[in-house]
Structures are given as C-alpha cells and as structure tokens.
Amino acid sequence: MKIRWARILVCTLIAFVLVLSAAALILWLKLRGTPVPPVGNAAISPGVSGPQEIRLWPGKASGSEDWTQQETETHLFGERYVRNVVDPTLTAWFPAPGTANGTAVIVCPGGGFHALYIDSEGAQVARYLNSIGVTAFVLKYRLVQTGPAYFLDEFRRFKTPGGMNRVLDQLTPLIAADGLQSLRIVRSHASQWGLDPGRIGMIGFSAGGYLALSLAYRQDEDAPLDFIALLYPLAPNGPLAPEAPHPQIQPIPMFALCAADDRRVPPEKNCVRVYRQWRAAGVPAELHLMSKGGHGFGMTRQNLPTDAWPDLFRQWLESLPRQKPLRP
C-alpha cells in the first residue's frame, strides 16, 4: 500500500513539474514576442482613416547608431507591449471627417523605459481623443535593451536604490530628442493636417510623463509645447531620476492626475511635486489626486475613481483658448 501511494505521489509530482515547465515555456515564448518590421516613409494624410505610422528620423537616430537589438511586440493579458525600440516612430490618428477641432496631442505611452504599453496608453488614448475631435499622434520612443524577461529586469532596477540611474542617464537625452522631433514633425505639418498651431500639446503616462516633462522644462523655440497633460508621471530630478538643476517652469498650462494609492510612482514625490512647482511659478495647473486607482491604468476601466480621467481631461481641454469647440 505504501509503495502504491509513493508511486502516485511521484507521478503527481512529475505531472506537476511537466505542466509547470510547459506553462513556463509558453510564457517565455509569449514574452519573447514577434519581430516588428521596419516602417516605411509613406506620407501621412489627414484624409486616411486608421493609424498611419512614419519614422521619426530620416536615418539612424543619433545616439543609438550602433544598437543592434530587434524591436519586438508582445500580446499578453489583453495588452500589447513593444520593447527594444531602436527606430522611433510617430503614428497619426485623425478624427472622422468634419469632426476635427484643430487640437493635436502627442501621446507618450509608459512602460518603465523597458517597454511601451502601446494599447492602453497609446492607441486607445488616440481613439478617445479622436472621438472628441482631437488629432492624436502616438510616439514610440527609444527604450533600454531587454530580453524576454524584461519585466524582471525592470522590477529589480526599480526596487534597487539607484538601480534606474544608469538607464535614465542613458535614455534621457535620447527620449527627449525623440519627443522634440515628434513636435517638430507635427508643427511643420500643422497647416497641411488642419491643426491649430496654438493648440499642440502632449500627454504622457508614467515614463511617458517623464519624457513630456523633460520637454516642458526645456521649451524649444522652434517646437514649443502649448500644454501638457500628465498621468501618474515619473518626475525628472526626483526619485529614480538623475540629478539636474532645479527646473525652470515654462508658462505651459498643465493637467495632472494620479492615484493616492500609487506605490510604484508615489504621487507626493512626483505628480503632486510637479503640480506645486507649476503653482509656485504662477503657471495654470490642475491636479486630480484620486483616492484609488494604483499605477498604469491608462484607458483600462477598473470601476475606481481614476476611470473619470478621460472626461476630466476633456473638460480641461475645453477650458483652454481655442478656435473651435470640442464636440460633446
């Protein structure tokens, strides 16, 4: 009898190990993703429905000419992740004919500088903006090189004191250049694409908020921002960010929203701190500190207070000077 139960136990353990190994293999293959083919140089047309993607730079992006990693795309848990971006792109989303109001927003997804949540903080945001007459441009900026277990690398670096400093030192000038180039492209085509040159702004999520703030602190005369929106942003010159001089606040209206229970990027040291900088400089700013919602919610509905952010953002946009009203 004892031998029989011992055999059953051994067989059960073997089966468990095999199932666990198979699950791990499937997950690894899933995380490995599929290669993303290079983007062509076709022109963007406001008369075309659906996303239109163009390369950000005419040749290899300066500062990463020797990068050899392959950009990949992974679908996991209903989200699309992009990692190892070497050739940055801008994807245009135009509202339905006759509904555009001239406002343009460059959308900067987050992902901890290791990946981009290209759906919930990118494409879905663009579709919402289109629904209220806003032209959207989703920015795919350069990222740190990672393997299939990128989420483990990201977790380890964020949890280790100073673990992200090297990543930020490397990426900050590159992603700032990508953001500035995206602004140049949008502004240089404003007339062609039916955009109001006085209503071109940027919205950034988490690491994308870091990118947007990096531009807002260093306004470029040739490609300025007219407004900035931040969702649970990581703030430059704050925790995890490299040391820098105290930022000079530019007169750019700001919208910010985060959740009090965000443990990943604590609001008091990031979102709230940036809001106080804007207010201390006498620059218009609006902050929504929601009681619950966590981090990285994007357009995902959670039946929590953070679900209200798209409508709050729309109302804020309506309060800005405009030539045409936003659609209700």
Q: Is residue 4 part of a domain?
A: no
User: Is residue 1 in a domain?
Assistant: no
Confidence of residue 16 (pLDDT cuts 50, 70, 90): low
Domain membership flag for residue 102: yes
Q: What is the value of pTM for the model shown?
A: 0.87
Q: Indicate whether 21 belongs to any domain.
A: no
DSSP H or E stretch at residue 271: helix 271-280
Reported as half-sphere exposure (CB side, CA atoms, 13 A), residue 209 has a value of 29
Q: What CATH number is associated with residue 261?
A: 3.40.50.1820
Residue 52 lies in a domain: yes
How do residues 214-240 score in pLDDT, each as one tens digit?
A: 999 988 888 999 999 999 999 997 555
pLDDT at 188 over 50: yes
Q: Is residue 5 part of a domain?
A: no
| 36-52 burial: b if 16+ Cβ within 10 Å, else e | beebeeeebebeeeeeb
pLDDT value at residue 246: 57
Length of the chain, please? 328
The distance of Cα 314 from the centroid of its chain, to the nearest Å, equals 19
Strand 227-231 with 104-108, pairing:
unpaired
Domain of residue 251: give its range: 33-319
Over 20-84, what HEC string results?
A: HHHHHHHHHHHHHCEECCCCCCCCCCCCCCCCEEEECCCCCCCCCCCCCCCCEEEEECCEEEEEC
266: pLDDT confidence band, cut at 50, 70 and 90? very high
18 assigned to some structural domain: no
Q: Please write the tens of the pLDDT for every residue from 91-105.
A: 999 999 999 999 999
Residue with tokens 């209903």: 78
Is 249 within a domain?
Answer: yes
How many Cβ atoms from other residues are within 10 Å of residue 91's Cβ?
21
Q: Structural domain tally of the chain?
A: 1
Measured at the alpha carbon of residue 311, what is the angle toward residues 305 and 315, in degrees to the nearest 5? Answer: 125
Q: DSSP class of residue 177?
A: H
